Structure formats: structure tokens, C-alpha cells
């Protein structure tokens, strides 16, 4: 017998969805996670940057995870279960202590999260010594295993997570030598850099590009280029931070449609994938949002799944595509199903590739139907309200950003 719902990933998005489903009276829900503990990424973020919206107070990641799990007490959460393949009609292949099995559900929700881009795909020149980590692995080494991987690392990138890396290092008694950011300003919001500089005494080098890594066994130095000049910084570790990508390997090897822009699955306004038995939410959809956003999305997707199980969500006979062009990087939902009215307050979420001041325009069959002047920065949310747009109408929808 198929379950009502299988949820892949017991992070904030998956747990929020499970809770919402239970509240809607759908209890045959199984949450699968390949780790030994539920909770997702917050399990290893030791600082108080979680929970304001969901629990009304700042919590550390582990506290936040614990609260979510308590809230999901009645949910069947199975850890140590890896999902290895997705097939049409809600059939998924798993491996656990029982070996490889096929299980099925009437609906499957994918909430597998996102991870940072490690060194190799960044194509950095130089040797390949040890001491090169991402923030995620640094956090787990420090907070879960009490390890001190190096003494004098540099941090590459300046998204919010880079400052998270700084706090993690501080917790382990390690002082970073510098934050190295190729852009002309930091990616995270100010005053992160001021905090780094004045409170922690760590220089933030903007306009600085990492050009090579040196060191035979352990990292010995990084070579950076800043305003045309090369400089070598002696260090014993490198933290590659940010440049998140969805953990979408399951999607890439499945029948589900993948969006090149986000790197995650294509979804409609009801969180449905191209195969409508599959839904997706959380950071799998988009690099990257906070845990609070993932949690809210998970709850919304849970509500949508409940509606679809009650028969209140019709299958679309048409899906209208929303296109974006450079310098827009991505938008989601990527499609609008004509079978359901867009929910009140539906927003398209988008990102830009680089800093642009200009006019953000929604065009329908080459006619501007909405526009606004914006100043967009990389990794900052750009929102386009769907209200007032007849987005279920068939035609060529395009969201563009023209500098000026």
C-alpha cells in the first residue's frame, strides 16, 4: 500500500510540511533522512541566528532543530534512510538497514536542501593540499566533532554564510586572517563587514580574487589579485563559503524537470513539480534562503499537498512558463498551472547575476504589463507580485531587468 506522503529530507522545510499535513488530518506521512539525526543544516549551526519568526526568540541551530522535532513529535521520522532514485507516480528507491527497497506514496515532497560549492567546481588554480573546507563541513567539524582543523585560515566569499564561518571559527578559538571577496562590496548586508572588521578585527578584502592555492600537504598560502596586484597571504586553511547549489542530484537523475537557473526542480505556484505527484520546497528550490523561509515554504507545500489529496487541487492542462533573461539569474515558481488560481499574495522570487540598477519589467507577449525601478544586488531577494497579472493566461511571459 502506498503511503499518503513521503517527505525526503527532515530539515526545516520537510519537518514543517509534515506538521502541517498532520494538522490537516493526513497522518500517513513518512519523513526520510539519510543522516543519523533529523533537523537538517541547523543541527550544526551553533550560533543564535534561528527561530525568531517560528518560535519568537533567537535560538541556536541545534535548539531550533530540537524545537522543530518536538513540534513534529507525532510524525514518523526515519533517519539513516537514503533516497537514491525517484520514479514516476511516487515510487522512490531507498536504501536503509533493510537494504535496497522500493516504496511508494500518493504524493512525494522533496526537501533535500542546498550545499555550498566546494573548491573543484570553482576551478581554482594551484596545488590540492588538505585544509580546504566549506563552511558546512567546518561547522560540523567544530560543533559536532569538536575538531580544530587549522589555525590561520582565510575565508573566500562574503555571503551571509561567510560571517557564519567567522563565528564558527571564533567558537573554536581560531582567528581568520581575512575575508576575500571578488566583488566591489560584500554580498551580505552591511554591517556584517563592519562587525568583522571592528568587533573581530578581521580584514574584509573586496575586489580581491583568489588566483592560486599553494602548499604540498597542508595549505601554505593563497595568492590573491587585488587592483591588478598579486599578493601572497601565508595561511594554513581555506574556507570556501557560499555559492550555494541545491542538493538536486536526485532530480538530475530523475524524470522531473530541472531549472538551469536555480539548479532545482521546476515548480508551479502550488509547489508541484513537472510530475504532479512530486512537490518540492525549501532550499532545494533556490540557493539560498534562511531556515525561516524554508520552514514557511515547507508549511505552504504541506498545505498544498493536503489540498491535492483531498481532491481540491486539480491537475493542470496547461502550465505557463515564466522566462527570465540575463542579468536575471532565476525566478520561481517557474511555471503557473492554469488549473488553480494563483493564491492571494503570490510572489515570484528572483535573483540577479550581478549588481544592477535598472527597470524590472514583466512583459506579456512583448508588452510591458508591470514595471518598477530597482537596485538589485547578487544573492538578495527580488520580488515580483503576481497580483494584477493574468499569469494563467497563455503567451510569452518574461521578467527582465534593463540597466538604466
Partner 1 sequence: MFDVAVIGGGVVGCAVAQRFAVGGATTVLLERGSDILSGASKGNSGLLHTGFDAPEGSLELRCMRSGYAEYLALRKELNLPLIETGALVVAWTEADLLKLPGIVATAHRNGISDVHQINARDLSVREPRLSKRALGAVVVPGEHVIDPWSSPLAYAERAHAHGAQIRRQCEVTGGTFTGDRWELETTDQLVIARVVINCAGNYADLVEGINRQPSFAIRPRKGQLVVFDKAAHDLCTAIILPVPTAKSKGVLLARTAYGNLLIGPTAEEQEARNIATTDEAALRALIEFGRSVIPDLEGCFVTAAFAGLRPATQFKDYQIHAQPHRRWITVAGIRSTGLTASLGIAQYVAGLYVENFAPLGDAVAETQTAVPNLAEVNPRPYQQVGHGEIVCHCELVTAGEIEAALTRPLPARDLGGLRRRTRCMMGRCQGFYCQWRVMQLASPYFAENPVRPHAT
Ligand X SMILES: Cc1cc2nc3c(=O)[nH]c(=O)nc-3n(C[C@H](O)[C@H](O)[C@H](O)COP(=O)(O)OP(=O)(O)OC[C@H]3O[C@@H](n4cnc5c(N)ncnc54)[C@H](O)[C@@H]3O)c2cc1C
The site for partner 1 (CB under 8 A) is made up of 34-36, 80, 82, 84, 95, 97-100, 115-116, 118-121, 123-128, 130-131, 133-134, 136-137, 140-142, 144-149, 171-174, 211-212, 216-218, 245, 247, 249, 252-253, 260
Among residues 356, 354, 345, the alpha carbon closest in space to that of 383 is found at 345
Question: Where in 75-94 is the site for ligand X (CB under 6 A)?
Answer: 82-83
Q: Rank residues 1 and 216 by Cβ distance to partner 1 and give the closer one.
A: 216
Which H/E stretch holds residue 233? strand 229-234
Residue among 144 and 199 whose Cβ is closer to partner 1: 144
Provide the minimum distance between the beta carbon of 143 and partner 1 in the complex, in angstroms, as a whole number.
9
Do residues 275 and 250 lie in contact, with contact meaning Cβ atoms separated by under 8 Å? no
Cα angle value 288/386/21 (rounded, 5°): 60
**In terms of CB distance, is 156 or 174 closer to partner 1?**
174
Is 158 one of the binding residues for ligand X (CB under 6 A)? no
153-170 as b/e: b if 16+ CB within 10 A = bbbbbbbbbbbbbbbbbb
Q: How far is the CB of 39 from partner 1 (least distance, A)?
A: 13
Please, are residues 11 and 285 in contact by the beta-carbon 8 Å criterion?
Answer: no
264 binds, among partner 1, ligand X, none (CB under 5 to 8 A by kind): none
Binding residue (CB under 6 A) for ligand X from 7, 13, 174, 340: 13
The answer to the question of residue 14 lying near ligand X (CB under 6 A) is yes
Residue 74, binding choice from partner 1, ligand X, none, Cβ under 5 to 8 Å by partner class: none
CB-CB neighbours of 174 under 10 Å: 18
DSSP letter at 248 equals -
Q: Which is nearer to partner 1, 27 or 218 (CB)?
A: 218
Among 93, 206, 290, 361, binds ligand X (CB under 6 A): 290
CB 6 within 8 A of CB 90: yes
Distance CA 345, CA 196 (A): 37
Minimum distance of partner 1 from residue 8's CB (angstroms): 12
Query: Residue 9's closest CA among 214, 280, 255?
Result: 280
Given the C-alpha cell 568587533, which residue does it identify? 199
Return the one option of partner 1, ligand X, none that residue 140 interacts with (CB less than 5 to 8 A, by type). partner 1
Residue 397 binds which entry of partner 1, ligand X, none, CB below 5-8 Å type-dependent = none
Residue 8 interaction partner, one of ligand X, partner 1, none, beta carbon < 5-8 Å per kind? ligand X
> Which of ligand X, partner 1, none binds 30 (CB below 5-8 Å, type-dependent)?
none
Phi, psi of 371, deg, nearest 5: -160, 160
Nearest to 330 by CA among 247, 267, 391: 267
Q: Which is nearer to partner 1, 46 or 302 (CB)?
A: 46
Rounded alpha-carbon distances, angstroms, from residue 130 to 51, 176, 186: 35, 17, 27
Q: Is 248 in the site for ligand X (CB under 6 A)?
A: no
Which three three-digit cell numbers place residue 211? 588566483
Closest CA relative to residue 279, chosen from 45, 10, 17, 83: 17
- Sites for ligand X among residues 296-355 (CB under 6 A): none
CB of 246 to ligand X, least distance (A): 9
For the bound state, the minimum distance from the C-beta of residue 372 to ligand X, rounded and expressed in Å, comes to: 27
Residue 124 site contact among partner 1, ligand X, none (CB < 5 to 8 Å, cut-off depends on kind): partner 1
What are the cell numbers at 329?
A: 539569474
Residues 12 and 19: beta-carbon distance below 8 Å: no
Q: Which of 41, 162, 219, 340 binds ligand X (CB under 6 A)?
A: 41
Region near ligand X per CB under 6 A, out of 12-20, 117-125, 211-219, 336-344 = 12-20
CB count, 10 Å around CB of 147? Answer: 11
Q: Report how far residue 142's alpha carbon sits from residue 28's, in angstroms, rounded to the nearest whole number.
A: 37
Name the DSSP letter for residue 50: B
271, 304 in Cβ contact below 8 A?
yes
Nearer to ligand X, 112 or 254 (CB): 112
Tell me the closest approach of the beta carbon of residue 160 to ligand X, in angstroms. Answer: 7
How far is 180 from 183, CA to CA, in rounded Å?
A: 9
Is 51 or 261 the residue whose CB approaches ligand X more closely?
51
Provide the binding-site residues for ligand X, judged by CB under 6 A: 8-14, 32-35, 40-42, 45, 49-50, 82-83, 111-113, 135-136, 139, 161, 164, 247, 250, 282-284, 289-292, 294
Amino acid at each position: 500500500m502506498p503511503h499518503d506522503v513521503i517527505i525526503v529530507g527532515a530539515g526545516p522545510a520537510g519537518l514543517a510540511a509534515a506538521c502541517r499535513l498532520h494538522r490537516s488530518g493526513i497522518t500517513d506521512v513518512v519523513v526520510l533522512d539519510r543522516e543519523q539525526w533529523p533537523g537538517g543544516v541547523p543541527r550544526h549551526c551553533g550560533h543564535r541566528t534561528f527561530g525568531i519568526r517560528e518560535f519568537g526568540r533567537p535560538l541556536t541551530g541545534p535548539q531550533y532543530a530540537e524545537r522543530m522535532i518536538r513540534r513534529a513529535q507525532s510524525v514518523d521520522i526515519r533517519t539513516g534512510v537514503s533516497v537514491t532514485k525517484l520514479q514516476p507516480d511516487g515510487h522512490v528507491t531507498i536504501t536503509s538497514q533493510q537494504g535496497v527497497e522500493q516504496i511508494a506514496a500518493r504524493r512525494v515532497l522533496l526537501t533535500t536542501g542546498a550545499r555550498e560549492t566546494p573548491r573543484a567546481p570553482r576551478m581554482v588554480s594551484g596545488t590540492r593540499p588538505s585544509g580546504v573546507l566549506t563552511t558546512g563541513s567546518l561547522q560540523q567539524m567544530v560543533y559536532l566533532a569538536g575538531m580544530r582543523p587549522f589555525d590561520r585560515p582565510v575565508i573566500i566569499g562574503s555571503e551571509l554564510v561567510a560571517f557564519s564561518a567567522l563565528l564558527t571559527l571564533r567558537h573554536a578559538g581560531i582567528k581568520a586572517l581575512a575575508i576575500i571577496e571578488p566583488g566591489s562590496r560584500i554580498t551580505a548586508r552591511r554591517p556584517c563587514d563592519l562587525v568583522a572588521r571592528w568587533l573581530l578585527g578581521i580584514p574584509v578584502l573586496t575586489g580581491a580574487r583568489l588566483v592560486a592555492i599553494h602548499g604540498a600537504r597542508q595549505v601554505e598560502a593563497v595568492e590573491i589579485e587585488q587592483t591588478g596586484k598579486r599578493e601572497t597571504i601565508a595561511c594554513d586553511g581555506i574556507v570556501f563559503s557560499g555559492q550555494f547549489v541545491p542538493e538536486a542530484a536526485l532530480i538530475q537523475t530523475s524524470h522531473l524537470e530541472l531549472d538551469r537557473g536555480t539548479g532545482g526542480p521546476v515548480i508551479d505556484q502550488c509547489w508541484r513539480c513537472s510530475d504532479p505527484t512530486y512537490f518540492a520546497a525549501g532550499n532545494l528550490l533556490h540557493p539560498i534562503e534562511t531556515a525561516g523561509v524554508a520552514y514557511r515554504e515547507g508549511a505552504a507545500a504541506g498545505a498544498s499537498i493536503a489540498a491535492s489529496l483531498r481532491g481540491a487541487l486539480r491537475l493542470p492542462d496547461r502550465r505557463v512558463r515564466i522566462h527570465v533573461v540575463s542579468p536575471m539569474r532565476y525566478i520561481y515558481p517557474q511555471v503557473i498551472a492554469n488549473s488553480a488560481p494563483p493564491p492571494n499574495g503570490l510572489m515570484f522570487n528572483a535573483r540577479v547575476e550581478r549588481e544592477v540598477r535598472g527597470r524590472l519589467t514583466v512583459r506579456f507577449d512583448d508588452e510591458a504589463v508591470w514595471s518598477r525601478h530597482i537596485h538589485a544586488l547578487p544573492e538578495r531577494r527580488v520580488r515580483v507580485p503576481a497580483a494584477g497579472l493574468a499569469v494563467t493566461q497563455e503567451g510569452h511571459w518574461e521578467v527582465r531587468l534593463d540597466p538604466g
